Amino acid sequence: MTAPATPIGVFLLDDHEVVRRGLRDLLEAEADLTVVGEAADAREALARAPALRPDVAVLDVRLGDTAEGSDEEGIEVCRELRARMPELACLMLTSFDDDEALFDAIMAGASGYVLKQIKGSDLVSAIRTVASGQSTLDPGATSRVMARLRSTPEPDTPAELARLSPREREILELIGDGLTNRQIAERLYLAEKTVKNRISSILAKLGVGRRVQAAVIAERIRERERD
């Protein structure tokens, strides 16, 4: 393929060095792709990627079970990066065919979701696709996500909402505004880890399992209060 005047800049996030090295070798063998940077964890990715202004970020969904991390931390990185760079296309890379992670990835703004078992040529094709502004997400998968959103349970007001502290209600409203953990932490002068823990508590008290379901509930509360 003829290389464009400006190659597609790709940023890599994976906690395994051998995976990053393999991806770099694969992509840099293509004339129209260049790896502009890489990171081994979420903090490093959020510090480096915005300054490098990649066109596509290839993000590992699961960055390992650590005290500081989470098993879907790559999805939170997607949400954060897209909040800072709305033009960025995120391609999620995972070892697991998991509808729950797919659900979160779509709602975080990912343009694609592929398994690590994918052929190298297909991964290269997926990167080119999302770089062009298209999506590699299966329409059926997107439909399943929207169906699940519509089935988000209505909170039993005031019973369930009364379980939330005033601070948790404030955080719920900001989730409904689409703010990331980092943005909520900055807005409320809290540590990002504190926000993450508070959101886990909010989800448990509302009886939902996903952040986006909490956002739907926050919007329904707003609509009721306007009425």
pTM (2 decimals)?
A: 0.74
Q: What is the CA radius of gyration of the chain?
A: 19
| Distance (Å, whole) CA 20 – CA 112 | 18
Q: pLDDT of the chain along its 227 residues, tens only?
A: 455 568 999 999 999 999 999 999 999 999 999 999 999 999 999 999 999 999 999 999 988 644 344 567 899 899 999 989 999 999 999 887 777 778 788 888 899 998 888 899 999 999 999 999 999 887 776 677 667 666 666 655 556 678 889 999 999 999 988 888 888 999 999 998 899 899 999 988 888 877 878 888 888 787 777 76
DSSP, collapsed to helix, strand or coil, labels residue 138 as coil
| Distance (Å, whole) CA 47 – CA 55 | 16
Query: Residues 185, 191, 197, 203: what is their CA dihedral angle, to the nearest 10 degrees?
Result: -10
